[in-house]
Amino acid sequence: MTSNSLRAAQVLWPSFMMAGVLEMLVFSVLDPSALSFGNWHPEATTVYSLAFFVFWGLIAAASAASQWMAVSVQRSETSDHPTPQRDRRRRSRHGTAQHV
């Protein structure tokens, strides 16, 4: 698994789980069949589906922002304390040092 796919999985899977929990909490209080948007009266399954994807997207965006900030902090901490560069040299066939 590449690092980008690992990061995506670290964001999408927990946000998927929390979107399911949030959906259960919201619709334990709210009746989706009682909702209407102007003249549109969506079915309950439509409301459940749309709400789930909205919850998932919002939680994933928040998780991705948190992960982005954590990575940027780690990068800035490592750049504040540079490690001494090693002098990399390779010997040629003739015995002289060449910089790599």
Q: What pLDDT, in 10s, does the model give residues 51-91?
A: 999 999 999 999 999 999 988 777 777 765 555 554 455 55
For the chain, the structural domain boundaries read 16-29+41-77
Long-range contacts of 8-13 (CB under 8 A, 24+ apart): 10/63, 10/67, 11/60, 11/63, 11/64, 11/67, 12/60
- Maximum distance among all alpha carbons in the chain? 86
Q: What pLDDT, in 10s, does the model give residues 6-53?
A: 999 999 999 999 999 999 999 999 999 999 999 999 999 999 999 999
Residue 93 or 12, more confident: 12
pLDDT on residue 88: 52
Please report the sign of the dihedral spanned by the C-alpha atoms of residue 17, residue 19, residue 21, residue 27.
Answer: negative
Residue 94 or 60, more confident: 60
pLDDT on residue 22: 98
pLDDT on residue 49: 97
